[in-house]
Structure 1
Amino acid sequence: MTAPVVFASLEAAPVGPLFRPYAAEKASQSAASRRVRRSSSQLPQNNAQSSDAPALNLIQSSLLESLHQGVIVTSCSLKPLYWNARARQLCQHLAGGDVQPLELPTAVAEVCRRLMRHDRLSELPLILECQTKTGQTIRLNARWLHLADDRGTQQPYILILLENCNDLLQEEVRIERKKYDLTEREAEVW
């Protein structure tokens, strides 16, 4: 049995509050409230009051933090606007130590530069696998993310998803072991 897949669109939700902790400049409260009102009107109406907007932001933030993948959103100048805890952890593995909050590790910056050299209108992701000093393989998946600013103008950002391939392989072995009722030794041979 596999877990259900949940799709969430960042375009239909107010993303400003998610990026605010790492943004170089903070938007004013009035601009944030306009953004919440504008984006909440784009959401399907399910009898939710406008007072539910902070709860929606909390839910979105919690969802991004609970992912097993690392999520980074950067500007075209490669300044991180948002990254979840898993992304910070995987970036520390890539960098071999602590990561500065406003600086991307070399491998992540490189995949972003490669994406920028390609067509900005492409929906295809750019995927790069990197080996850490500890022997872990980290997969970087970079793609364009176009979001509307306060004036409704589409702005390009880069969305980077990071995942530890070693963890994925261990999870796959665990699932196969359970699926076929294998012993630990049988799973090693499998």
Structure 2
Amino acid sequence: MPTTAHKPRQSTFSAIKGGYIPPEHLQISPKLKLHRKHDRNLDPVTFEVIRHSLWNVNEEHGATIQRLSGSPVAMYALDLNPSILTEDGEFVFFGPYMQYMSGVTDTQVKWILENRADNPGIRNGDMFLANDPWVGAAHQQDVMLICPVFHGDELFCWVTNCLHQYDIGGITPSSFCLAAENAYEEG
């Protein structure tokens, strides 16, 4: 029986070799103003009140996703996680659900800061939808909604959520595509 030579798969993502790894100091467009003010004299009681309030906001965020999504993945498997991050993509809180999901959210936020601050820009009311495993998702079915929060004209923080989707349009139902030869065939 004749054999055919197997040609090696070419990377669909040749422009991003090995994925995105954020540098120690992000290269953010000067067009985007970051909120950098802080109170060095914050007393411990006020700090704890603020910390627990943010913790509660983040937990309510996750509970709201569970109730409103209509997804059994969110309701029963808890395959989701909300996060609050600083203006430059460092974690403040992430939810008590699937921890690995939040563990990659900061990478996606930092990529947006470096690659979208200038074009198309990051503005109040924007929302970014992302599922790129070469940048910040664990796999393509984990879809992130990433929202910048502004105070005046300065970027104050980021609120994100990541939720596993049943099917994102791959070549097989449920988007678990073992025969996929590139990322586009996965969905």
- The verdict on a shared fold, with TM-score over 0.5 as the criterion, is no
Q: Which has the higher helix share?
A: 1
| TM-score range for the pair, normalised by the shorter chain length | 0.3 to 0.5
TM-score w.r.t. the length of structure 2 is 0.41
Q: Which has the higher contact order (CA 8 A, sep 6+)?
A: 2
TM-score w.r.t. the length of structure 1 is 0.41
